[in-house]
Chains A and B, each alone.
Chain A
Amino acid sequence: MIAAHFPILQVVVPLMAAPFVVLFRNGTVAWFISFAVSWFALAISVALLGQVMDAGEISYAIGDWAPPWGIEYRVDKINAFVLLIVSAIAAIVATFARASVEKEIPEDKQVLFYSAFLLCLTGLLGITITGDAFNIFVFLEISSLSSYALIAMGRDRRALTAAFQYLVMGTIGATFILIGIGLIYMMTGTLNIADMAVRIEAVSTSPTTVAAAAFIFVGVGLKLALFPLHLWLPNAYTFAPSMVSAFLAATATKVSVYVMLRFMFTVFGKFFTFEFLPESPILIFLASLAILTASTVAIFQNNLKRMLAYSSVAQIGYMVFGIAMVNVSGLTAGILHLFNHALMKGGLFMALGCIAYRLGATSIEQVAGAGRRMPLTMFAFVIGGLSLIGVPLTAGFVSKWYLLLGAMEKGWWPAAVIVLVGSLLAVVYVWRVVEAAYFRPSPDGATTVEEAPLSMLIPTWVLIGANVYFGIHTDLSVSVAKQAAVQLLGLAP
């Protein structure tokens, strides 16, 4: 009985918790509610993934208005997987948040901070679960507006300009998506994605439909920080509070990649993805540039958060790279990398959160000698870094392996070279940190061990441990990603 309502509970519970938290005016209560709600959301998304794997797609009609007239929530393999990623990261980050937020956010802002976090979670889950194109835009705005607020709460005053920059770019992106959805609505007369996919065939040669596709791709490209449109991302991740960097880096861009997949394969599948894309190198070109330039820029960053932010741009390049191959291995790699990158970046940003908690800053000078002062945290960073590089036995290796498989199936040898060069560049920027932390004395000569509190260390290690676990036990993540890829490609004519 209650299981039938899981799709809506997934979104409504965090949505209702957000205003509920405001009524209490107490940071600890607000944290506890966010913590409980995030774990509850995780439980629901696990149940949903189970239901979808066993019994196929789930459809939920809001207000009992039958789709395509009413708003429909539709869960299939791909979005059940993304829901799991988002809610799992939210649960772990919410556990981590207590001590970190206590230190970084002023007392009187904590309640609103948690409220914004819950709204952001609502938005991200909503974008993922909904089967209605306009609903995607609404939830996109919910998640974006709350993430601007979250970023602006960073300690550094530059957080304000970073949030404003993101606001301008994000609004342009959202507007483009809205224009695109409006144009499709004009051509098909429907907002329901499944219905849209059927009706768009009749009008697929119309210039309006092509314009709609262009608007949506540029808009989503802005939101997911595809290479030339990534300029908002480094500042936003650098100056945001530690917990926000970890949460957004691991979830926000992933959800945007999901939106791109949804439009590419479900809506524009027939004429765009399977006819136009294989003959046009645009996505491959941008993804390769993202991998090479962003990884190179990451090497020269002094602030480790900024370094990881540039590395995120490169990692998004890998995802788009896999998706642009439009074959099973490539798409599996792209979807798998959503999951694996969430694990590694979430873990790495949380490790930096621990460093910021104890050492106050995350510049490379600050972490000098940190290998002795914070051995557990730095070791977590090293394992996360290895996963980022793609060393065997870590999660990063698995997604790169499938990426290489996809490239070889296509006979794209230069593409395989780009993936390998990207990994080598990652070795360089991770090694800089290792060198500073283990082979240089700390700036003030301190050698005493001062670890971050356990409430931060344990969640960090859970994610870092997951990197190793999913690097060895690949069945779960790979099989879900592969089935999702097959489902998306199954729409091919």
Chain B
Amino acid sequence: MRHHLVLRVVSKLLIPFILLFGLYVQFHGDFGPGGGFQAGVIFAAGFILYALIFGRENAVKVTPPRVLQALMAFGLLLYASVGVVGMINGGNFLNYSVLRADGVAGQHLGILLIELGVGITVAAVMIMVFLMFTGRGR
């Protein structure tokens, strides 16, 4: 779709805002509607739009499957590690209150990190699913 001038220009304009909106949904999730899953999907939509307009080859250069695979694993590990740190600090698994001396601050930190883990994994999985489907037979 490289020859569609309008699509190219508009998507170039849109992609930064899509990514920014993804980050907003991610980090504003504990105060308003949002959270890791939605943020991950929005963030991935930016990359998928890029791949649609500028071609799969260019998208693979930005997000090689190897990196995506590592990110998928990293997000889940981040989530679970927060739980384990809670255990080390003397609480049960996934108790955020013990992450900081102040319980409320601990809850904030815990949910932020966990949602970040969800966001990373979901974004990586969405991009990966798209790349796998479009890369079939190649």
Contact = CB atoms under 8 A, between A and B. Distances in A.
Answer yes or no: are A and B bound together in one complex.
yes
Interface string A47-76: 000000000000011111000000000000
A22 B87 contact: no
Contacts of A22: 69-70, 72-73
B86 to A, nearest CB: 7
B11 to A, nearest CB: 32
Contacts, number: 48
Contacts of B74: 19, 23
A8 interface: yes
Interface in B64-82: 69-70, 72-74, 76-77, 80-81
A298 to B, nearest CB: 38
Given A19-B74, A22-B70, A22-B73, A8 B93 contact: yes
Contacts of B76: 15-16, 18-19
Interface residues of A, number: 15
B83 interface: yes
B80 A63 contact: no
A20 interface: yes
Given A15-B80, A22-B69, A22-B73, A64 B97 contact: yes
10 contacts: A15-B80, A16-B76, A18-B76, A19-B77, A22-B69, A22-B73, A23-B73, A63-B86, A63-B96, A64-B97
A231 interface: no
Interface of A: 5, 8, 12, 15-16, 18-20, 22-23, 60-64
A20 B79 CA distance: 13
Contacts of A20: 73, 77
A60 B95 CA distance: 12
Nearest to B80: A16
Contacts of B94: 62-63
A12 B82 CA distance: 12
Contact of A61 (B86, B92, B96): B92
Contacts of B20: none
B91 interface: yes
Contacts of A8: 87, 92-93
Given A18-B76, A63-B93, A63-B96, 14 more contacts: A5-B92, A12-B80, A12-B83, A15-B80, A16-B76, A16-B80, A16-B81, A19-B76, A20-B77, A22-B69, A22-B73, A23-B74, A62-B93, A64-B92
B98 to A, nearest CB: 8
Majority DSSP secondary structure for residues of A touching B: helix
B84 interface: yes
B87 A5 contact: yes
Interface of B: 69-70, 72-74, 76-77, 80-81, 83-84, 86-87, 91-97
A64 B87 CA distance: 10
Contact of A64 (B77, B81, B95): B95
B130 to A, nearest CB: 18
A24 to B, nearest CB: 10
Residue of B74, B77, B92 ringed by the most chain A CB atoms within 10 A:
B92
Contacts of B87: 5, 8
Contacts of B73: 19-20, 22-23
Contacts of A19: 72-74, 76-77
A61 to B, nearest CB: 6
A62 B94 CA distance: 6
Contacts of B81: 16
Closest 4 CB pairs of A and B: A19-B73, A63-B94, A22-B73, A8-B93
B77 A12 contact: no
Contacts of B69: 22
A247 to B, nearest CB: 22
A148 to B, nearest CB: 15
B29 to A, nearest CB: 18
Given A5-B87, A22-B72, A23-B70, A16 B93 contact: no
A106 B69 CA distance: 18
A112 to B, nearest CB: 9
A10 to B, nearest CB: 11
A63 B95 CA distance: 4
Given A22-B70, A23-B70, A16 B77 contact: yes
A44 B79 CA distance: 22
A5 B83 CA distance: 12
Contacts of A18: 76
Residue of A15, A18, A61, A63 ringed by the most chain B CB atoms within 10 A:
A63
Nearest to B77: A19
B138 to A, nearest CB: 16
B72 A62 contact: no
Contact of A63 (B70, B84, B92): B92
B66 to A, nearest CB: 8
A12 B84 contact: yes
A12 B92 CA distance: 12
Contacts of A64: 91-92, 95, 97
A5 B70 CA distance: 29
Residue of A19, A20, A23 ringed by the most chain B CB atoms within 10 A:
A19
A12 B86 CA distance: 13
B93 A5 contact: yes
A16 B77 CA distance: 6
Nearest to B96: A63
A19 B81 CA distance: 12
A12 B77 CA distance: 11
Contacts of B96: 63
A20 B93 CA distance: 19
B115 to A, nearest CB: 15
A83 B92 CA distance: 21
